[in-house]
Structure 1
């Protein structure tokens, strides 16, 4: 069952070909066999309780396509009865009293929540390690990073512990780990999947939850479950259901290849070569691929992104920073973000917003001639897991803990939808992905493109040696 898609499992459960109890037994056996080597699933619930929940699912009317399917929640979101550590000692022992909005939607569709997937501390940094649960390891080379911050989810998919998963994405967290684990990850258009109705809801239009899977069809099915406005969450966006049309790609996509944004972003050897091989395959499918010059100032975009990101983090984490007992438990990257954000002036923030708007308008002109913009999902292959973050790429020193992920900023800054598609492996056998970036609300179209690519390549069928 570890190689079966979520929709195939759903159909088998609905047709009584398998029972939820049998599926849960197989899932727990799979976790027992491989999780110790990769540390992707944390806070796993008691086996007897999970089997009892599965038996109840077998004996209840079906409430949705996820009924009876084991599911784990990224350890940044609240799932009632489970700890939400956020990878931080500050929250390690706090058990959620109720579900976040997204988790409640998954439960209503019948998902059986079995535990959590590992994440970096507060989701900060695209490398999944923290002082509460330790590091998640890449199953294609367990000495390497699994990416992040949805690293636990990506690894659980790659190793067959989960058939479908959810994650969140501010700075590539649904794209980088998907690319590094040979699975699909989708950052929806901002506003399609509402956040939990708490805190400030208008300013920070970066972070969003989204689906991860081994097929675009499962991505679409899960996105349709997660999506839809909520009356208490501002700026919600409604898009048509995506699964029903996933095999309806009407014409050859026009692809704009943005390469390394000129020479703005250093790339490790082999990354662009593999991307260009994938683009040649797309050309063989009849897709029109055009290399594009840099469409906007990379330094201006980076300044806008880092200012808005630091300010947002500083405001959201101010309680932990302003309390002496918890400040000492924050990792250096968090302290850096908070202090940088607190030092910004109103004029700095407004300037960053102006740059964001200018890039949005320029991107709109690109989509007049191209259906999809394409970038690598990372600038570097999965790096040594013992590092906190890469310190250089191709001889270029990284001046911040997250500069090595600059390639994800063009989409994140203006809330565009992105699907990471697997594109194969480098010389060391490590996976890489491509970001397929669409115009706002083109989520369904991007899934159609990804589905056609999946049919032609089937990359996730190349499983890690340990599987």
Structure 2
């Protein structure tokens, strides 16, 4: 494949290796060249180990030469999110407390991606314990936006999105609680999917019944994302809430016709949050893609309290003992969020779960009369990288580091699948994605819609 390069689709790269048109070692060299070119400035890939990567690429070529059965991602360079435990590989969670931590076992997402044949090269940078949608920490520093390095790459999968957009890796894994797959995808101009609850099982977890955060795929296009989802998805006996549909069902997809699709489009869910004027304009312009579009939206009034309560409860349960032992080792915003969980009562948590049940039911009813909901991914375009979070939108102050993320985390607590698809740019060229949401379990349908939107955007250029 003469024109193959690091910006080629992951599917083309994997096919070229499989057909032996390029070796895994040659493909790795191409990516290491791009990493050497872009990573010193952008800081997306951390714990890079070129020697171990070359050993892995050589092993991939040997497996192919001997006729061994190979996986769908065979030979592709891969950097796991630095919150995912990778056996024998430094995994810091973006925290100085784990600066030298090396796990002795892979977590489930890593197991699956490794089994699919990737060549691990390192980790992708994250904010401390994946908290906050701006990727910086005291271990590795700040990840910068590949479009404008003065701006944030988003987070918590900011390193992954930046590495993808700049051609350092062909695919990336991530996780999403309040927008950690979707927000950096929008900021960096790539695709990020928060799957339905149970679509991508995770193990081990401190609480297998915690359903706020999910793992998922990122890619430069919807077809590549579907390929990675085919590896990540599917049941596992260690994950009791996993959906039973096999991951292989996502391996290929055909864009759906947008004609007749019942689309609800809302830039702010009826005034539920502030949206930057330019972002709102880009999202509103998506109406031109569809012939049946309305300004309807579900009522998600309880989403803010529900998300913040469950997030604080989750953080306190998981990180509270560590904060008590190391009170000065956490960034202030995260420490405050953990401590907010200390005052929660059983009644508070019960209220949050009751509200979440109502929100899920309301979304189920909404999708009886609408096929998809379109809204912003993030309420702002990429903001300056020297800020922890936007302090105002359209002149309206943001009181906390969560206020500007409502467009993403309101969807989190519904349990529905949501995808960020590149759609436009601000007047100064910063990427803006649109968020497309479908009913729980309709991940394949959502991907088919997203693929059609992606194609329509390409045809307009």
For the criterion TM > 0.5, the same-fold answer is yes
The equivalent of 1:200 in structure 2 is: 207
2-structure distance, mates of 1:48, 1:297: 50
Deviations 1:84-140 (A, max 9, x none): 111110001111212111101111110111100001000000000000000000011
Deviations 1:286-315 (A, max 9, x none): x4211115x3253x2211111111101110
1-structure distance, mates of 2:350, 2:55: 54
Deviations 1:234-271 (A, max 9, x none): 21112354435510626632111122122221111211
The equivalent of 2:373 in structure 1 is: 373
Shift of 1:76: 0.2
Of 266, 271, 280, which aligns to 2:274? 266
The equivalent of 2:195 in structure 1 is: 188
Structure 1 counterpart SS, 2:277? coil
Normalization by structure 2: what TM-score? 0.95
Query: Is 1:303 aligned to 2:308, yes or no?
Result: no
C-alpha contact 1:217 1:243 (8 A) present in aligned 2: no
The equivalent of 1:275 in structure 2 is: 283
Shift of 1:52: 2.3
1:63-462 alignment runs, 5 A limit: 63-202=70-209, 204-239=210-245, 241-243=248-250, 246-247=253-254, 249=256, 252=259, 253-280=261-288, 282-283=289-290, 287-293=291-297, 295-298=298-301, 300-323=302-325, 326-458=326-458
Unmatched runs of 5 consecutive residues or more in structure 1? 463-467
2-structure distance, mates of 1:434, 1:185: 11
Shift of 1:363: 1.0
Of 12, 18, 26, which aligns to 1:14? 18
Of 35, 39, 50, which aligns to 1:35? 39
2-structure distance, mates of 1:98, 1:25: 28
Deviations 1:312-353 (A, max 9, x none): 111011221221xx2210111221111111101111111111
1-structure distance, mates of 2:252, 2:117: 23
1-structure distance, mates of 2:70, 2:188: 31
Structure 1 counterpart SS, 2:199? coil
C-alpha contact 2:373 2:438 (8 A) present in aligned 1: yes
Structure 2 counterpart SS, 1:249? coil
C-alpha contact 2:356 2:413 (8 A) present in aligned 1: yes
Higher mean displacement: 361-370 or 118-127:
361-370
C-alpha contact 1:242 1:443 (8 A) present in aligned 2: no
2-structure distance, mates of 1:297, 1:11: 44
2-structure distance, mates of 1:309, 1:338: 9
2-structure distance, mates of 1:193, 1:369: 27
Shift of 1:458: 3.4
Normalization by structure 1: what TM-score? 0.94
Report the count of equivalent residues. Answer: 451
The equivalent of 1:56 in structure 2 is: 59
2-structure distance, mates of 1:424, 1:117: 26
2-structure distance, mates of 1:354, 1:360: 10
Structure 2 counterpart SS, 1:167? strand
C-alpha contact 1:376 1:407 (8 A) present in aligned 2: yes
Deviations 1:131-162 (A, max 9, x none): 00000000111111110000000011110111
The equivalent of 1:3 in structure 2 is: 7
Structure 2 counterpart SS, 1:327? coil
C-alpha contact 1:221 1:242 (8 A) present in aligned 2: no
Structure 2 counterpart SS, 1:230? coil
Structure 2 counterpart SS, 1:59? helix
Cα distance change, pair 297–254 in 1 and its aligned pair in 2 (3 A): closer
Unmatched runs of 5 consecutive residues or more in structure 2? none
2-structure distance, mates of 1:402, 1:387: 14
